[in-house]
Every structure is written in C-alpha cells, then in structure tokens.
Chain A
Amino acid sequence: MTLPPGLGRELSAILGKDGFFDDPIHRRVYDSDAYPHEHLAPAAVALPRTVEQVQEVVRACRRHDVSFTPRGAGTGLSGGALPLDGGLQIGLARMHRILDIDPFERVARVEAGVVNLDLKKAAARHGLTFAPDPSSESACTLGGNFAGNSGGPHCLKYGVMLPHVLGAKIVTPEGELLELGGRWDPGEGLDLLALLVGSEGTGGIVVELTLRLVPLEPARSTFLAVFETIDDAASAVSRLVARGIVPAALELVDRVMMQAVEEAYGFGFPVDAGAVLLIEIDGPEAAMPVEAQRIEEICRKKGCREFRTARSDTERAQLWKARKHAFGAVGRLSPNYATQDGVVPRAEIPRICEFIYETARRHGVTVGVVLHAGDGNLHPALFYDERDEESVEAAMKASGEIIGACIELGGSPTGEHGVGLEKREFLPLIYGPTEMAAQADIRDALDPTGRCNPGKVLPGEGGEGDRLRVVGRQVSA
C-alpha cells in the first residue's frame, strides 16, 4: 500500500522533516514487533510529539480514508502493532514526558510513550512505584500497557493495568480527544475507561494517562522453593492461595528453563529439579518472618526438597534474573522459539503442564515452561529453527494444540499478550456466534470508521500490507 500523494505532504507539514518517513528503510524498521512470525511494513511512519499532532495526523488519515496503527515500543508479542493492511504507523515513542507526579495523592500523569521502568524510577524517588511490571518493562511503553491491559509477575497481588489507570486521553478514530476518568477514583457511571483498557489500540490512540502509584513496601523477601515434580510445585501454589497467602509474585520455572538459565548465567540453580517456585512477599516488616515461615511450611508439606531465601539484594536480583531472563537464555539452546500465553484455572496447572510435555514429545519439539503460577498464566517456549520448515510446522502445531487445551480446561488463549494478529482464530473457540457478534458490535461502537488498527482481534479479516513472511516462510514480498 502506498499513501495518497496529498496525505504524505500533509503529514510532512504536520510533523516536520524528522516526524514523517515513507522511505524503505524506515518502513523496514517498523515492519515487525516482538511477534516473530510476521513482518508487515507500513506505507509510512508518523512520529508525533504532541497530542495536537496525533489529532491532526488522524484527521488527515480520515480525510484520505487511510488506516492507521498505533505503536508504542514494539514489544508486543501477538503482532498487535503490525499494520495489517499497510496504512500509516503512528509511533508514540517520542511522547515520553512524565508530566507530573503527586506523591501525596499518589498519582502520575504521563504521556503514552513513557517507558514503564522510567515511571518506576521517577516514582521511587518519592517512595512509590507503579505496580504493573511486564517482563519488557525496561522497554515497553505505558500506552502499550494500556492497550494490552498488561500484567507481569507482581500483578498477582497488585492487579494488572486496569486498576492502576485513573484516567486517559485518547484520540478517537475521528480525531477527537476523548477524556475518560480523571485524577481521582473515577466513581460511578458507564465505565468506558475499563472497556478501552485492553482494547489493543482499536478504539483510538491513547496519548496521555493518569496512573495510580502505590507505596514501595517497607520490606520484601524472595524465596526459591525446589520441587522434584511440577505437580508438587503446582499443588503448593493452590495451597498457598487457599491459605490466604497472596505473595507479590509466585512464578514457576520448569527444568528445561532452569537448565537454560544455568547454562547462561551459572547461578548455581538446581538443574535436576522438576520445577522451582520463585516466591516474593512484601509488606510490613513485622509480617515477613511469619509469612515466610508459613510459606516454607506449605512448600515443604507439598514436597519441596530445598527452600532458599535470598539473603541480599544481589541474591534477590539473581533469582529474578533467572525468571525475567529465562527466555533470553533460551537462545543458547535453540535458534528460535515461539512463546505462548495461555491461561488455565490454577487447579489445572498440573494437567496443562502434562499436556504441554506430551504434545511437545508427540511433535518432536523441545519445550520449556515458565508460569505466572498464581494466575495460571503459562508461557511455554517451543523451540524451533526457522531455517527448517518441518521444525517450524511442528512448533506451530504444538503451540496451537496447547492453546486449544487451555480453552478446553476452562481457560483463555491469552492472559496478557493480547489477541493481536496471533490469536484471532482462537476467539471463536471461546465465544459462540452470539458473543462474536457482540465483539464486533463493540469494535464498531469504538471505531465506526474501521480505520484504527484494522484487522486485529476479530478473525477472518485479511490485509493488504507487505506481508513478508508467515511462520518463518516467505510467502509474498
């Protein structure tokens, strides 16, 4: 797709020389996000710096009937920021100012392109933090977190993005500025804000957010519980939650991933264990010893063979590195991997893990699993080599079967990565025809123009973009 000539001139005039690009190099830079299986180049790239510029760009697209796709840092794992029918990519990364932090009210007002971790660092100076912590927090933007209703390891206790969003300014597909919520608790009324959080950029472009900050807890303890089997570890998770223990984080890492981490970093983790639980608690100092004792008791009762406590910030950082960099470590074992984002009820963790290993064996694929165990949100990494078509095919088949099993067990195909391009075909597996029609109704209500991030979420919508590759294979240029 190429832009109508008049639109290119208009956008250059709105954004200046360094804000609009339609050359092949820039288009190539923006042809992918963190979803590894598709490369879709936009017709052009707009990089606005102000809300007014975003509005003008969207209005220009409307006048010329051109679609547009918003993008934060491009860390999304389901292809949500890829321009499916070409069109204009609108990158928000230059809108990265933290506008205001009010430590008394515990509120931050930020532009959408602010990086998640940058807000955390700024809030920490006031003894506060921003709770949602996706693994990509050092790169992902808060606007992207809004669009995806992002989570992270610590959302077990603190919740995902939604409860931390007090207000938002959104440029609608018509180019108007929609203001929802505000600086304080939104109160009663039609909750459009909740509807738009997690709408994957299909209802407009979020340009400014008012976010809730939470106090940094006075004390924190991190533990590593080592189990012979993944069943034992999963059983400990259910027991902990049932006993009213809600850790700040409760992560499960299986043997394959532990081996990858150990090979990469050499932290001295047990490579012969079936699974480990990474458990973090935070809160008042007085609660730490009693909570730690109860967690250890429960883990031991459920077959934990070793219970380690991080004795320093360095040890704690190492434990978290093992979890947060687990996927990075996979690079030592396989040239490529596909990660999934299924969710199952907590009690079904042993069954889904068994299914994952059995499916991987059947397809001849190596798989490693990390889980936000407290939420039942699993991220199996299926290893493949994109130069080998059979390996790609096997990994994709296994991946699809795993998501199908999550749904059969009462779960969801996506807990935090979003539907984007990747999961569109799974939606009819969880929703009947009536619900699918209702989904389309919501989409139409949010964007009657159909120009804002077209082709996402709902299945069956094709695209006209420069599709370079599908699951590792070149299909058209």
Chain B
Amino acid sequence: MSGSRMNRDLLRRLSAALGAETVAWVEGDGTPSSLRVEAPDREGFHVAAAILLEKLAPWRPVGLAKAEPGRCAVSTVAFDGILDFWPRDLVARIGAGARLGDLQALLAEQGLRVPVTSLRPGEHTLGGLFASGERGWRGGPNHRLRESVLGLTVIDGGGRVLKGGGRVMKNVAGWDLVHLHHGAGGALGVITDLTIKLEARPQAASAFALPVGVEEVATLLDSTRLPAAAAEPVVQLWLDETAAARAGFEGGGLLVVAAEGWREAVDHWASALPQGAVAVDPAELLRRACEGAFWSGRLHLGPSAVLDVWPSWSRKWKLVEPSLVLDLQTGHARVLLHREAPLRNAALIELAKAGRAVGGRLYAETEEVAIAGDAAPPDGPSSSEDPAWAIARRLKVAFDPGNLLPPLPRPVGGWR
C-alpha cells in the first residue's frame, strides 16, 4: 500500500474511532505528509496505538513535539496530571504527558517538587524528558530524572502494556524495565505514566554569578567545589565570554553557582563567596545564554580538558559566534553556534578533532560529528561489530517486532 493511501486509510480509522477533530494531516514541505493524533484521553491513546499497530503504521509518541515526515505522531499530552499521590511516602504516579512546568507549580503548592530541571519546563513533558535522557541544568548525581523514577507503564511496539518497577524507593527485582526506556527515545515503547520520587522543597535556595575568566576558573573551583567548601553547590556552571554576554553579563566568562538547604547553611555559603558575586536566577540566565542558537551540540570531554581546548578554538572561529556552557560537576559541555556561516562544518570538525586528540567526542545532540576519514559511523543496523548495538538491536526486535516505533538512538558511550 502506498504511503498516501495508507495515511488516508489510517485517517478514516482514527477519525471514526476518536473523532475527526483529533486527527490532522501534517503536510510536509516537499516531504511525505503524516498524521498527528491528539488523543483525547488515556483510552483514546490506547485505541490509537492499537489501530496503528494493527495497520503496521510507523508512529511515534510525542509530547509537544511536531510530527515527523512519514511517521504518524500520537500526542501523549492527554496523559497529564497526578494520577496517584502517596503523601506520606512522597511518591506520585504522574501522566507522561504532564508538562514539567505545570507539574512543578502544582507540587509547589504542597511544598514539594520533582528533583529535575529543564530550561523549557513549559514545553517539556515528563515522559519526553525521561525518554530523551536529557539532564537538566542542576548538577549532582541524584538530580536527574533517571534517579527519581521508581516505576512506569509503557505500551511496547508489539502492543503489550508493561508495568515496570513500582512505588518503593529501592527495588532490584528482575531486569530493569524502567531504565530500559531511559534515553530510548520511544524506540522500545511509549511511556504512559511514571511513578516518581518527590522531595520537599528546600527551606532556602540562592544562586550567584561571578565574573570568572577561563584562566581563573580552575583556581576558583578549588574554593567552591573541593571539600573545604562550606557547602556543596547544586549548580556549578561556567559560561564563556560569549555565553555570558548573551545572558547579559559583559566583560568575560561567568561562574554560576547555587546552593540550597537550611537557611543558615545557605547564608553561610553565600557569605563565603568572593566579592562581586551577583544574585541570579540560573534558569533564566541559562535560557538567555542559549536562546537563538542555530546549532547545539555537546562536547563529551570532561571539565579540565574542555577548558584546555575551548579558548583557542573559539577565538579562531569567532565568525560562527560559538559559546560554551560547561557544567563543572558533570562535565556536560553544551556548545552553541549563534551565527550560520559557510565554514561552520569546518569549525565543528576542527573542534571534534581537538576533542578526540584528548580522548573526547563532539556530538550534535546524539550523533557524533564525523571527521573525514572516519569509518562509517557504527550506528544502525549496518554495524555488526559493536556489542552495544548488537544488544540494542536485539532489544528492538523484542520490544518493537514490527519496527513501527522510532529508530534506536545511539547507546550511551556504546562505541569509541
């Protein structure tokens, strides 16, 4: 059956089952058109999934993201809200389509929060954040959605409704059906709800920005990061001169630090910061720094190596207006290009080479920036050598036997 005929057939079936107003054509710009389904409720979502699976139609769950050509998009936003709440355990089961911003506002009324951050909380759904594996802007090993999700429900590509994990704090019963879907991009199943560990909001929180050039940042780290510090900051980011300027701080690099906890401790920590520290809202500051970038990637290298590589490269390639936001706690280095230029690929290849010279990698989102002379990237079904891809492929066959869900993303660190 041709793609357009299939879409027409699907449109009829989905419209009949869910109502015409919930299904829309999305015309591609010279690309195959696709369908977007706004499932009216949970039941509607299950009906849509069943029809798509029956018709063997490629589809993907989306939160607020757009449909992609040739693949039917079924929105999970009907799966919002808190479905169950156990206040004495500080645990809640939450619909995967809940927007992080709405959820945090709701929980704040109870003095609670989900311990995860996003620069676009109004746009990100909880399911999307988990499925993308995205880390927020707050550092520390436990400040990641992965560590807060206790259980979930998914519909896999074979139409099985699977419940993984549970609602207790620790659980090592069997293989981990929860983390199987972390970072999987919906390739192994569609998350419909997540059971999440909540936490009480801290009594006090403060964040400050300090002007710190690249030469001084390592030295300053000794006084704010190493154990002699009065408190372990929950945020510790360094913005290069360009990122700082875009965030509204002219004149050089910027260190952004934040602490939270008991008021006395936070005040004590703040009083120990060097002179010149200015109170800031880190989320807002970062939003401004990242706004308007036309290319965004990640330098997987580690803080000290990033600080070695970045200055000379960014000076040389000023024409693409590069900026850097470096998380000093996790080593997560966000590279942004703010001006399109003909030589932008050359610039990125040079940064990728500089990174590789010291054992790092440059990724454009999840794909590594290729360098001339590289072997074909060992991703996708063509790679037979890499054991990570071999496991990933077997999982894909088991959990999406018809290959109807989105393609697998790169396994984390799965090849080098």
Contacts and interface: CB of A to CB of B under 8 A. Distances in A.
Interface of A: 104-105, 127-128, 148-149, 151, 155, 158-160, 162-164, 167, 172, 174, 176-195, 197-199, 202-203, 212, 214-218, 238, 241-244, 246, 283-287, 289-291, 343-347, 372, 374-377, 410-419, 423, 426-427, 430-432, 434-435, 437-439, 441-446, 448, 457
Q: Which has the most chain B C-beta neighbours within 10 Å: A167, A190, A283?
A: A190
A159 B147 contact: yes
B183 interface: yes
Contacts of B394: 444-445, 448
A105 B395 contact: no
A16 B363 CA distance: 44
B392 A419 contact: no
Interface string B316-330: 000000000001001
Contacts of A443: 175
Contacts of A218: 227-230
A164 B304 contact: no
Contacts, number: 301
B27 interface: no
Given A176-B387, A244-B201, A285-B230, A194 B182 contact: yes
A284 B331 contact: no
12 contacts: A127-B228, A159-B147, A182-B300, A188-B365, A192-B388, A194-B176, A244-B203, A283-B265, A347-B88, A376-B168, A414-B171, A438-B399
B410 A190 contact: yes
A187 B412 contact: yes
Given A242-B87, A434-B162, A419 B199 contact: no
Contacts of B36: none
Contacts of A415: 168-172
A159 B172 contact: no
Interface stretch (B10-18, B131-139, B285-293): B131-139
Nearest to B143: A163
Q: Which has the most chain A C-beta neighbours within 10 Å: B87, B156, B395?
A: B395
Interface of B: 86-91, 111, 132-135, 141-142, 144, 146-147, 156, 160-164, 166-177, 179-180, 182-185, 187, 199-203, 221, 226-232, 261-265, 267-269, 298, 300-304, 327, 330-332, 359, 363, 365-366, 387-388, 391-392, 394-395, 398-399, 408-416
A27 to B, nearest CB: 29
B233 to A, nearest CB: 11
Given A284-B269, A343-B168, A375-B170, 20 more contacts: A105-B331, A163-B141, A167-B413, A182-B413, A183-B359, A185-B331, A189-B183, A189-B409, A190-B411, A192-B388, A192-B391, A202-B175, A215-B226, A215-B232, A343-B170, A343-B171, A415-B168, A415-B169, A437-B160, A438-B160
A167 B180 CA distance: 17
A178 to B, nearest CB: 4
A445 B387 contact: no
A324 B406 CA distance: 48
A181 B331 CA distance: 13
Interface of B is mostly: loop
A147 B228 CA distance: 34
A375 B170 CA distance: 7
A244 B201 CA distance: 7
B172 A414 contact: yes
Q: Which has the most chain B C-beta neighbours within 10 Å: A104, A159, A439, A441?
A: A441
Contacts of A177: 387
B89 A192 contact: no
A190 B177 contact: no
A217 to B, nearest CB: 8
B255 to A, nearest CB: 16
A136 to B, nearest CB: 15
Contacts of A148: 172
A195 B89 contact: no
Contacts of B331: 105, 183-185
Contacts of A155: 170
B412 A244 contact: no
A179 B365 contact: no
The 6 A-B pairs at the shortest CB distance, nearest first, are namely A244-B200, A184-B331, A287-B265, A185-B330, A415-B170, A194-B179
Contacts of B298: 187-188
A159 B339 CA distance: 42
Contact of A287 (B171, B180, B261, B388): B261
B65 to A, nearest CB: 15
A198 B201 contact: no
B168 A187 contact: no
B412 A192 contact: yes
Contacts of B133: 187-189, 191
B365 A183 contact: no
A127 B199 contact: no
Contact of B146 (A181, A194, A287, A448): A194
A430 B169 contact: no
Contacts of B187: 190
Contacts of B163: 431-432, 435
A242 B170 contact: no
A185 B187 CA distance: 22
A439 B265 contact: no
A189 B172 contact: no
B412 A188 contact: yes
B175 A199 contact: yes
Nearest to A165: B141
